[in-house]
Amino acid sequence: MFRSMVLASGLVAISVAAPLAQTAPETDATEATESAVTLPEEKLITEQKEQQVLSNELIGMNVLHPQGEKIGMLESLLFDEDEKIVGGVVSVGGFLGIGAKSVALSWDAFEVRKDEQVVLLDLTREQLEAAPAFKDLAQIEAEAEAERARQQMQEQTQQPMQPAQPPPE
């Protein structure tokens, strides 16, 4: 009987001690605030202004000709080294994105109509489809790598083959 009481007391002590050991010590709220890192006010933006547009609102917007014809969809924004938008990439042609072509244009060519959720571009679909495709850095590098591999294979196939040496007797 005594042995089962000691065993039961031990189990109760363990079950109570384990949760207590896992709780974090309480800290004073002012102590936590004082230790927090503060941001300089001039770098902090707390709300979007009426004339500002979020990039996720632009990406995916329909691109229309001023007469209302859908030309394509705004696929991406192009930034310069000063982190300013210098261009927009329009996906044009294709069906459900298959066979579509990306064409980049100067950001000055676009007119964002935030309230209408569209971007206007004073060009036709035919003009964009005839324009050269936009290549991003990854595509340029992939093409350069493919060209290097092609040249290497061509050089290897142009080298004269050495006749096989007969095995030593």
- Residue 40, classed as helix, strand or coil, is coil
**For residue 31, what pLDDT is reported?**
54
Token digits of residue 124:
């036709």
**How far apart, in Å, are the Cα atoms of 82 and each of 6, 36, 71, 137?**
74, 31, 30, 18
Q: Residue 16: in which H helix or E strand, if any?
A: helix 2-22
How many CB atoms are located within 10 Å of the residue 90 CB?
A: 27
Report if pTM > 0.75: no
**For residue 20, what pLDDT is reported?**
47
Domains and CATH numbers, the chain: 55-144 (2.30.30.240)
- Long-range contact set of residues 2-8: C-beta below 8 Å, sequence gap at least 24: none
Rounded CA gap, 17 and 143, in Å? Answer: 64
Token digits of residue 84:
């300013």
Q: Is the pLDDT of residue 81 over 70?
A: yes
- Which DSSP string corresponds to 96-160? TTBT-EEEEEEGGGEEEEGGGTEEEESS-HHHHHHSPPP--HHHHHHHHHHHHHHHHHHHHHHSP
Mean pLDDT of the 1-27 span: 46
**For residue 148, what pLDDT is reported?**
92
- Residue 43, classed as helix, strand or coil, is helix
**For residue 51, what pLDDT is reported?**
83
**For residue 111, what pLDDT is reported?**
94
